[in-house]
Amino acid sequence: DGEGSDYLEKAIETQHDAAKIHYMLGLAYLFEGNEILYEKECGILEEKKDRDMANKLENVLNDSSLLKSYLRDLKKRKSQNTK
Protein backbone atom coordinates (compact mmCIF):
# COMPACT_ATOMS: atom_id res chain seq x y z
CA ASP A 1 0.00 0.00 0.00
CA GLY A 2 1.05 3.55 -0.60
CA GLU A 3 0.90 6.46 1.75
CA GLY A 4 -1.49 8.45 -0.45
CA SER A 5 -3.98 5.63 -0.88
CA ASP A 6 -3.89 4.85 2.87
CA TYR A 7 -4.87 8.43 3.68
CA LEU A 8 -7.67 8.45 1.08
CA GLU A 9 -9.02 5.08 2.22
CA LYS A 10 -9.44 6.57 5.71
CA ALA A 11 -11.20 9.62 4.23
CA ILE A 12 -13.70 7.39 2.40
CA GLU A 13 -14.61 5.68 5.68
CA THR A 14 -16.22 8.93 6.83
CA GLN A 15 -17.47 10.18 3.43
CA HIS A 16 -18.64 7.07 1.61
CA ASP A 17 -20.30 8.87 -1.30
CA ALA A 18 -17.62 11.47 -1.96
CA ALA A 19 -16.93 11.10 -5.69
CA LYS A 20 -13.85 13.32 -5.58
CA ILE A 21 -12.23 11.09 -2.96
CA HIS A 22 -12.96 7.98 -5.05
CA TYR A 23 -11.42 9.75 -8.05
CA MET A 24 -8.29 10.68 -6.10
CA LEU A 25 -8.05 7.18 -4.63
CA GLY A 26 -8.28 5.73 -8.13
CA LEU A 27 -5.39 7.96 -9.21
CA ALA A 28 -3.36 6.96 -6.16
CA TYR A 29 -3.90 3.27 -6.93
CA LEU A 30 -2.96 3.84 -10.55
CA PHE A 31 0.29 5.58 -9.67
CA GLU A 32 1.07 2.82 -7.18
CA GLY A 33 0.67 0.35 -10.04
CA ASN A 34 -2.47 -1.28 -8.66
CA GLU A 35 -4.72 -1.43 -11.71
CA ILE A 36 -7.21 -3.77 -10.02
CA LEU A 37 -8.05 -1.27 -7.27
CA TYR A 38 -7.94 1.57 -9.82
CA GLU A 39 -10.61 -0.21 -11.86
CA LYS A 40 -12.62 -0.82 -8.69
CA GLU A 41 -12.72 2.93 -8.04
CA CYS A 42 -13.83 3.53 -11.65
CA GLY A 43 -16.67 1.07 -11.03
CA ILE A 44 -17.66 2.75 -7.77
CA LEU A 45 -17.96 6.08 -9.58
CA GLU A 46 -20.11 4.47 -12.26
CA GLU A 47 -22.34 2.87 -9.60
CA LYS A 48 -22.77 6.25 -7.97
CA LYS A 49 -24.00 7.59 -11.31
CA ASP A 50 -21.10 10.04 -11.50
CA ARG A 51 -20.31 9.25 -15.13
CA ASP A 52 -18.32 12.47 -15.68
CA MET A 53 -15.94 11.68 -12.83
CA ALA A 54 -15.70 8.01 -13.89
CA ASN A 55 -14.85 9.06 -17.47
CA LYS A 56 -12.26 11.50 -16.21
CA LEU A 57 -10.60 8.78 -14.13
CA GLU A 58 -10.71 6.23 -16.95
CA ASN A 59 -9.23 8.75 -19.39
CA VAL A 60 -6.15 9.22 -17.22
CA LEU A 61 -5.07 5.72 -18.18
CA ASN A 62 -6.51 5.67 -21.70
CA ASP A 63 -5.10 9.01 -22.86
CA SER A 64 -1.65 8.97 -21.35
CA SER A 65 1.00 7.05 -23.23
CA LEU A 66 3.56 8.26 -20.69
CA LEU A 67 1.49 6.80 -17.86
CA LYS A 68 1.06 3.54 -19.74
CA SER A 69 4.82 3.36 -20.23
CA TYR A 70 5.38 4.06 -16.53
CA LEU A 71 2.94 1.30 -15.51
CA ARG A 72 4.51 -1.16 -17.95
CA ASP A 73 7.96 -0.45 -16.50
CA LEU A 74 6.62 -0.70 -12.95
CA LYS A 75 5.07 -4.11 -13.64
CA LYS A 76 8.31 -5.26 -15.23
CA ARG A 77 10.32 -4.21 -12.17
CA LYS A 78 7.83 -5.87 -9.81
CA SER A 79 7.96 -9.15 -11.77
CA GLN A 80 11.77 -9.06 -11.75
CA ASN A 81 11.80 -8.51 -7.99
CA THR A 82 9.56 -11.54 -7.39
CA LYS A 83 11.84 -13.90 -9.33
What is the structure's pLDDT at 16? 65
* pLDDT surpasses 60 at 74: yes
19 vs 65: which has the higher pLDDT: 19
Q: What is the mean pLDDT of the chain?
A: 80
**Residue 57: which pLDDT band, with cuts at 50, 70 and 90?**
confident
pTM of the model: 0.64
Q: At what angle do helices 35-47 and 19-31 cross, to 10 degrees?
A: 160
- Whether 43 shows a pLDDT value over 80: the answer reads yes
Closest CA to 11 of 23, 26, 21, 1: 21
Q: What is the DSSP letter of 83?
A: -
Taking every pair of C-alpha atoms in the chain, what is the biggest distance, in angstroms? 42
